[in-house]
Amino acid sequence: MSPSNTLLDSALPPPAAPRPTTKTRPFYWSVRRELWENRSIYIAPLAAAGVVLVGLIIGALHLPTKWAHMVSTLDPSRQSQIVAIPYAIAATAIMATAFVVAIFYSLGALQSERRDRSILFWKSLPVSDLTTVMSKAVIPLVVLPAVSFAIMLVTLLFMLAVTAVVLPMNGAPANLLLSAFPLGRTTVELAYVLVVFTLWHAPIWGWLMLVSGWARRATFLWAFGPPVVACVFERLAFGTSYLPALLHYRLTGALTEAFTAGDASANMNHLDLAQMDPLKFMFTPGLWLGLLVAAILFAAAVWQRRYRAPI
């Protein structure tokens, strides 16, 4: 090598080190895509909370003084039940809204990409069918319960603030609200109820997503029509109601399996920590059979997506 080449090489900057490659995280971005494309996931529960708050404020303006005084004279257990009613209504409204959103989301999760032919684009990406289906399944199983929990907490805090101002103005003691409605205990109760219902309803979301990936149109009819027809057929042919009882158990059975109260559904306004029975719920055969069925249904949805074409 000549001296001129040596001087030229020493004058050049050293080669840059190779930049580390960033992991694409397909599951994370698939979930983000679902949130971007389905804003009703958080808008609908927020709207339900807004309606509840407006109704509370209007009702508080017309709260009769005699009612507040009457409540303050009752025994503590009865006070707790009466004061908790508006909060139970608010939590139930938000949960019911999230449940309806989850139904319509699951019914359109796999059909919408076939209807607008975007499935051709998504299949061209290095994202597996398992990742795609699981990113959609995580919406009703994780995202919606988490969003509902956060919205319920904010709503209940605002309701507490409003009630704490209104009750003393109408003659009720200031400590009535905190003694009848402890915030810490209520937070644990809401989290428990959401986890219980999420696990209990898992096979419902598996069935709806399987129908969403299979049906070409009218997914709502295909999802709910066969169970209704089967119930009517059983009643007419055999005079029994085993299937309706099974469906009712799958919808509301979490209330009887996760709480010690004899009929928790009739006492929904005042479910507390003393009635919770997580061990009973975890050892309930219906829970594990439902999770097994949900796993089979989600696996079937993954399998059929491999062979589904645009509508």
pLDDT at 21: 45
| Token representation of residue 160 | 């507490």
Over 184-230, what HEC string results?
Answer: HHHHHHHHHHHHHHHHHCHHHHHHHHHHHHHCCCCHHHHHHHHHHHH
Q: What is the largest CA-CA distance in the chain?
A: 105
pLDDT at 168: 64
Query: Is 291:199 a contact under the CB 8 Å cutoff?
Result: yes
pLDDT at 276: 83
Q: How far apart are CA 194 and CA 191, in angstroms?
A: 5
pLDDT at 114: 82
Q: Which amino acid, one-letter code, is at 211?
A: V
Q: How confident is the model at residue 246 (pLDDT cuts 50, 70, 90)?
A: very high
Q: Which residue has the higher pLDDT, 76 or 217?
A: 217
Instruction: Give Cα separations from 37 to 24, 26, 33, 42, 266 (angstroms).
Output: 20, 16, 6, 12, 38
Least confident of 21-25, 87-91, 121-125, 133-137: 21-25
Q: What is the mean pLDDT of residues 165-189?
A: 67
Q: What is the mean pLDDT of residues 123-134?
A: 85
Would you list the domain boundaries of the chain?
Answer: 41-305
Burial class (CB in 10 A: 0-12, 13-18, 19+), 233: exposed
Q: How far apart are CA 160 and CA 22, in angstroms?
A: 46
Please check the confidence at residue 228 and state whether its pLDDT lies above 50: yes
pLDDT at 266: 42
Please check the confidence at residue 303 and state whether its pLDDT lies above 80: yes
3-class SS of residue 235: helix
| Token representation of residue 38 | 């389905």
Quick: pLDDT tens for 35-85.
998 999 999 999 999 998 888 777 766 665 555 555 556 555 565 566 667
Across 95-123, b (16+ Cβ under 10 Å) vs e yields: bebbbebbbebbbbbbbbbbeeeebeeee
